[in-house]
Chains A and B, each alone.
Chain A
Amino acid sequence: MAQATRSERLNAAAGQQVQRVRDFVDDTEPAALVVVTIIALSLLAAFVGFLAVSNLTALPFALFVAATGYGWVRHQEETALVLTLTMTVSTLLILGLIIVFIFRESVPVLWYESVTVLGVRVPGLRMFIQPNWDAVAPPIRYSMVPMIHGTVMVTLVATAVAGPLGVAAALFLSEIAPAIVREFVKPGVEILAGIPSIVYGFIGFTILSPWASDQFRTTGQGSYLFVGIVVGLMALPTVVSVAEDALSSVPESMKSGSLAVGTTDWQTMTSITLPAAFSGVSAAVLLGVGRAIGETMAATVMLRGVPRLTEPLVNVFYGQETLTSLIARNYGEADGLQMDALFVAGVILFITVLVISIGAQYIEWRMRSKLGGEA
């Protein structure tokens, strides 16, 4: 029953789309239609040519430019519509291309690292069940386990730093700070987001790493603890700005209602504002986690670059390698299977962060519909 209504609905939606296209064709002058068609087809041809690494790509592209120029002068309305539509589609296309290309590059090493389980060949499984990465001496193994461990350690420390500090700073900005203080602190947080990660990494590498190695009497430099702290500071602005948006989207009437019965500001925050914005605040922390997972340069210059697990696993005073730093450090000398293994690391990163991003958006969407604001 549900199936039937679903397909009916889809049919109806498709019918509507067809109807809209038909209306567009009916309402538009034939000359404009021709121009629009030429624009679309030539751009498509140029794209196909680009994908096929053809030298002739320039020809359809030149046609596209010419047709667009002509259409702009003679049929601006239709040309603008088609142009903006293609721009929207190309945004989707870029995400699609990223998925296709990084997955395609990672296929060979997945076959190489396959394991037969119960008579079924599972590609890529060996990358996750043994912890040995060795690209030089046989047996050559490309395990992702040490890097996943490193990324998890760094992300845990970073979240412990960015989560509480970020939410507290967001509360300060959205609920507590006087307007004049906010005018200064808010750009400050934005500027914090703007400091390039390589500058953080440089300071970490020259100042923090030697200091930490001395403080904890470790052999050599580089520890997950301090990479995590630095990455947490870098993720902080993301948490602050998203959480602040969530907190200030709580309707003023709810807060005033609470204040009117004589609560303190802090009571209103803990019993009204924070619970109402809870999902938005957790989405902010999630996005911060996503930032921390993807942070590359600080980790690359501060870590040791030896892909192995720390002994014992909870030893945060040693930092070996994360998924991101593996790619940044090894792209130069890598080729063949090793390069493909770097793409596997990229795929893991991409999927993890995409899932986090979609999860955060779902949480935010639920919060907005719960608060009854505009969707």
Chain B
Amino acid sequence: MAGATRSPLVEGDTTVTDAVAGATVGLSAMLFALAIAALFERVNLTGTVAGLSTVTLLGGLLIGLGVAVSVFGLGSWFGYVETDPDASAGLIAGLGAAVPWFVVGGGVASQTLGFGTVGGVVGGLFVGGLTFAATAVPREDVGSTVPLGALLVLVGAVFLTGTIGPAWIWNLGWEQQASITAEFLVPTATLFCSLYGGWAAAKAYGRFGARGRHMGAYVLIYVNALSIVAFLFILIAFVVVQGISGLLNGAQVGAGVGPQVFGVVELPVYVPFVMNGVALLNDFQGVLPAIVGTIWLVVGAVLFAVPLGVGAAVFLTEYAERGRFTQIVEVSTNGLWSTPSIVFGLFGFAFLIPRFGNRKSLLAGMLTLGFMLLPLVLITSREAMIAVPDEYRDASAALGVPKWQTIRSVVLPAALPGVVTGVILGVGRIAGETAPILLTMAGGTFVPGGQTVDVIGGFEFTAAPPFVANPELLQATSALPYQLYALITAGVGLGSNVTDPDGFRWATALVLLVVVLSFYAIGIGARYYFRQRLRHE
């Protein structure tokens, strides 16, 4: 009966505490956003937000958050709040709380009290150790809130009292001069404090114990995942916003404004940036040669790497018995996959260039990128072929079909989606590579439209061996990633060629991003399509 009379009370209590804990989590989210805004100077530290000076506001909010978190923990300890805490917050929570306190203790001991580096480490270890004990020894509700709440209150008080004001600066006194400024320290400290506060508040929201830890961890993991996605979007949006004006500079839409393609059709759009080269008399300069160069590079690399990689994958999965040989090939393919791109560049420089007329050439660039693409094609094709069920092969073999026929008409078609997806994603990767072609192909900063490479028209037959020659393949041309690199390193010298060098650079970056990401979009789309179709069958 006692339970029956108590339960509505407990329930009413529950909603209030829930609301308080939830509001605390919301407060830390707000602080997190403010800190990010201040870090990227969207919010001015010396200015005001909502009538208060920014640093004061941050300090006040931090103190509020710290007090709320601590009160929650203490309330649970004294039994005012219904919770379910464990005996200890655990070693990981202890370490997590000890790290910021180590930094604070070390900073105070070495700088404020002037004990030097050794004194700083000793002081930091002392304070950190104390925090570790204070977190791990008491019951979980106190251990996981009070040390962190105290940290938040301390940092908030430092901001509020103006000990670290907007003009604060700490010269590190190093030979290569560097200082830590309030502009950096205040937002960064707020950022970490808000994460700690959110973690503690989420634990309290989950009523501590196993469920509380679950909540605390999930909050951090969700913040992390969200930040990564947000970072991706901001990055792409930033490049688009910066580059779009340069890209559309002089663009026209209308019948007959565009250049002729295939000698017959006139395009209804004219975007000079992607349809022109650079010339003295051009109204609008462009990067057409680099785009064409990138396309040919990719085509060459694919023609080299895909047959080789798929063939090797066929041998490894279908013919070879699993043993030392396949193991060696596997290990070296993975090794090849992680080899830095600049090492491929060095290899192309030492191996290919002397063999193709001792100068940088399109062909050398193609092959170097092909070497890079090969391990990726091999790995993904092999995975796709292993995933083909053995029943397919057995059924075909039972009909008396020879091995190669089985591979060609059963295994390869079944593995095709995986191979195609892998190849497209790999192509996206190599299309944006700069380092390998830096040493093997290069090209100029500004390339006239007349130098746009024409591989198909470049073939000619000669009387002497090797009988076939293609001067277009054997000369350097430009590619988008290289051109962007050249534009960056050319620095101020750009002004005479292009009216708006910065816009030109950003537009080049945008075109490169669009080219590479469209490969990815196609690859991911293809995978999605094939998976859908597989599910329907």
Contacts and interface: CB of A to CB of B under 8 A. Distances in A.
Given A196-B433, A217-B177, A312-B175, A97 B351 contact: yes
A125 interface: no
Contacts of B183: 215
Nearest to A55: B465
B180 interface: yes
B238 interface: yes
A168 interface: yes
A318 B218 contact: no
A169 to B, nearest CB: 6
Nearest to A352: B340
A192 B355 contact: no
Given A165-B224, A310-B176, A328 B435 contact: yes
A95 B341 contact: no
Interface size class of B (residues with CB under 8 A): 35 or more
Contacts of B374: 91, 94
A191 B520 contact: yes
Nearest to A173: B225
A140 interface: no
B315 A191 contact: no
Interface stretch (B228-236, B249-257, B259-267, B452-460): B228-236
B319 A266 contact: no
A265 B214 contact: yes
Interface string B303-344: 000011101101110111000100011111111111111111
Contact of A84 (B312, B336, B347): B312
Interface stretch (A35-43, A111-119, A130-138, A200-208): A200-208
The CB with the most chain A CB atoms within 10 A, among B183, B238, B340, B342, is that of B342
Given A191-B517, A196-B481, A315-B176, A91 B308 contact: yes
Contact of A95 (B314, B332, B431, B481): B332
Contacts of A233: 231
B178 interface: yes
Nearest to A357: B338
A32 interface: no
Contacts of B439: 327, 331
B36 interface: no
A198 B512 contact: yes
B434 A198 contact: yes
Contacts of A194: 425, 428-429, 432, 516-517, 519-520
Given A55-B464, A205-B488, A324-B435, A311 B175 contact: yes
By secondary structure, the A interface counts as helix
Given A87-B315, A199-B512, A92 B332 contact: yes
A186 to B, nearest CB: 9
A203 B238 contact: yes
Contacts of A291: 338
Contact of A199 (B217, B239, B349, B405): B239
B489 A301 contact: yes
Contacts of A215: 181, 183-184
B17 to A, nearest CB: 20
A296 B315 contact: no
Interface stretch (A142-150, A152-160, A248-256, A343-351): A343-351
A76 interface: yes
Interface residues of A, number: 100
B404 A81 contact: yes
A192 to B, nearest CB: 5
A102 B334 contact: no
Given A172-B221, A194-B519, A353 B339 contact: yes
Contacts of B333: 91
B106 to A, nearest CB: 14
B235 A203 contact: yes
Interface string B172-194: 00111111110110000000000
B355 A218 contact: no
Nearest to B225: A172
B438 A328 contact: yes
Interface string B418-456: 000000010011011111001100000000000000000
Contacts of A104: 350
Interface string A276-317: 000000000001001101111100110000000011100101
Interface string B503-519: 00100010011001101
A195 B432 contact: yes
A327 B311 contact: no
Contact of B371 (A94, A102, A185, A297): A94
B484 interface: yes
A168 B331 CA distance: 28
A58 B228 CA distance: 51
A184 B434 CA distance: 29
5 smallest CB-CB distances across A and B, nearest first, come from A294-B340, A196-B432, A58-B466, A87-B311, A84-B315
26 contacts: A84-B318, A87-B307, A88-B311, A91-B309, A94-B371, A97-B351, A98-B344, A101-B347, A191-B524, A194-B517, A196-B434, A201-B485, A201-B488, A216-B179, A217-B181, A219-B177, A233-B231, A264-B214, A301-B485, A312-B174, A317-B178, A328-B438, A331-B439, A342-B346, A346-B343, A349-B343
